[in-house]
Structure 1
């Protein structure tokens, strides 16, 4: 698993830092073939694959950790080709939609990007913590965030560049705390997200509020200031539900954790 993680990270680091390589240049990520039991039953008739489908379709909600039996399955998925293929399918569809728009080019069209597991990948952290099997440890995760070493998600990075070429501006709306602004901004720029209209982090006034409430309010503020949210992409349903969600939303895969 450690070797495969190195191979995966080498690939996404190449792409996230990849101003020196054209978009069509890709390094091969070795497909992780599920080992015996990697998709094992949780209860009779419910496999880890079925559990992941329930998570991605927002039918399984409110969970704190992935089932213990699915740790190997989720790890294989996140480090294998299928995660990249699924992410690419979402990003490709998002670009096809964006390309079809007739935009006035008045600098008011924006696309909402989440940060964690949407633009920046925390796989190096989660690989050390069971891909979501272990309970979330805010202290350890925030320590990781403050290192500013998260690589870019390659497919989201490509979408970001294509949207900029269409005249659509990026707005990052993240659940990271306001005191992580400097590190988050530096990390984004380091891996190639070099420009944005706004970077919105969660202020202390939202303490105790759900992500749906926080992100809905911030999107509402954007629209009150004259911006048009033409698209919205995130890895959590809470990125995409609520109010002022934009003309179209796009859900990236993430079976590692759930945020309400």
Structure 2
């Protein structure tokens, strides 16, 4: 009987070690799986494959937080700006003041990250009243890559038009914020008027671009963080989408 004791002891030790190893492996597998899911989720929303979505999945809040506060968001934005300028430098700007670039504002020129830090990084249902209060503070900082792009496009001779989904009653605070962030000398700031309320962003922004075309402007390029900033009719010759995993606007 005693001769089998070492074998039994070894088996108990082996099973204990195996259980511990499996538990550790399970943890190692689960953590990357969440990360991989969130990477794939972000790819799908950026490519517009997911179409309409409302909030950041709970399992991806940490992922979005790390992305928005980390180097990846900055470098993604820089790469988009570089490709944009590469194209812009190929455009023959005529000098007649009719070659224009259209920019969205939120998450395109100005960052609302300070607001979303306090609102779940996009995991909470949108609170219009709270967001309006943030907009009214006029404290949104400039996105560095977009500021560089904005400045260089002006130097290349493009006229700049700003087309935002913000409402007309927010004109003063929006202009104040833009000036504060360094976005100056734009030709016109479009905001939603009474007749635009309730329209999907794709339609509203298409109509405003059409107005520019009807006035003889050539929309050489456009930049936005939503596909609804860029899709529709009366589109730019070429459009560039910036990253934004915080929210979706149809």
Q: What TM-score, normalized to structure 2?
A: 0.86
Root-mean-square deviation (CA, aligned residues, Å) is: 1.6
C-alpha distance in 2, partners of 1:186/1:219?
24
* CA separation of 1:188 and 1:141: change in aligned 2, threshold 3 A: same
User: What corresponds to 2:34 in structure 1?
Assistant: 41
3-state SS in 2 of match to 1:100: coil
C-alpha distance in 1, partners of 2:132/2:31?
30
Give structure 1 stretches of 5+ with no counterpart. Answer: 1-35
The number of equivalent residue pairs is: 223
Alpha-carbon deviations, 1:153-203, whole Å to 9, x = none?
000000000000011011000000000001101110111111101100011
User: What corresponds to 1:90 in structure 2?
Assistant: 80
Contact kept in structure 2, 1:74 and 1:256, CA below 8 Å: yes
Contact kept in structure 2, 1:40 and 1:69, CA below 8 Å: no
Q: Which has the higher helix share?
A: 2
* CA separation of 1:38 and 1:65: change in aligned 2, threshold 3 A: farther
C-alpha distance in 1, partners of 2:114/2:235?
30
Q: 2:173 aligns with which of 168, 173, 183?
A: 183
Q: 2:225 aligns with which of 235, 247, 258?
A: 235
Give the superposition deviation at 1:41: 3.3
Give structure 2 stretches of 5+ with no counterpart. Answer: 1-28
3-state SS in 1 of match to 2:102: strand
Q: 1:120 aligns with which of 110, 118, 128?
A: 110
Q: Does 1:152 align with 2:139?
A: no
Q: What TM-score, normalized to structure 1?
A: 0.83
3-state SS in 1 of match to 2:219: strand
Structure with higher Rg: it is 2
Counterparts in 2 of 1:201-212, with a 5 A limit?
201-212=191-202
* CA separation of 1:216 and 1:39: change in aligned 2, threshold 3 A: farther
3-state SS in 1 of match to 2:162: strand
C-alpha distance in 2, partners of 1:40/1:91?
31
User: What corresponds to 1:16 in structure 2?
Assistant: none
